[in-house]
Amino acid sequence: MTARAIYFRSPQPFADIQALQEEWARARYADAIPDTVLFLQHAPVITLGRRGRTQHLLASESLLAERGIALHRASRGGDVTYHAPGQWIIYPILKLGALGADAHGYLHNLEEVTIRTCADFGIQAERVAGKNGAWTTAGKIAAIGFHLKRGVTLHGMSVNVSVDLAGFQLIVPCGLVGDPVCSMATLLQDATPAMETVREQLRLNFEAVFQRRLTIEHR
């Protein structure tokens, strides 16, 4: 089967996309669909992973509602994070094979996609021992939280491009006290690339790292 990339044109509600991932993961396990990678931006939302602790949520539900920020429990691993427009979300629904058959190898590959993409725009990003994601001198630029279900991946990673970082002040991002969050805009300012430009580099690097050619579909 040819793998595919689904590009969503407008910011998507988290609950709708989580339900879609669950549906497509079942289909992927049954080989009813090919490997599929979702590229999207979320409408403003705070999500808590399976291990997410509510003490890392610094705002009440009423305050979040007042600011138009949804709150959801996610089926992914990890703690608490924030999503909003200006941030690329990549949700791979892959049946892992010999090239990425365990969680550690899969995590490494997701980090590599972000590290290569940052380098394409002159940003040095790297791994930090004991912490998931991709990091720069200004802070964490990409967060990773996924779930393996019967050998099929769900959820994935978020990469901060030009997202309003104020939303992260409502949480302790990923449960890491004192670790700042940054974006491409933090580092590049007026030279920040367009969202579509970053998406294309993410796709190309995903293809290279995961050794899958992706055909593009729009939704």
Which residue ranges make up each domain of the chain?
A: 3-218
Residue of 17, 174, 184, 202 marked catalytic: 174
Q: What is the mean pLDDT of the chain?
A: 91
At residue 51, the pLDDT reads 65
In 3D space, the residue among 116, 137, 117, 119 whose CA is nearest the CA of residue 128 turns out to be 137
Alpha-carbon dihedral sign for residues 101, 107, 112, 117: positive
Residue ranges of the chain with per-residue pLDDT less than 50: 98, 100
What's the CATH class of domain 3-218?
Answer: alpha beta
What is the greatest pairwise CA distance in the chain?
47
For the full predicted model, state whether its pTM sits above 0.85. yes
The predicted pLDDT at position 54 comes to 67
C-alpha span between 206 and 219 (Å, rounded)? 20
Our answer to whether residue 118 is catalytic in this structure is: no
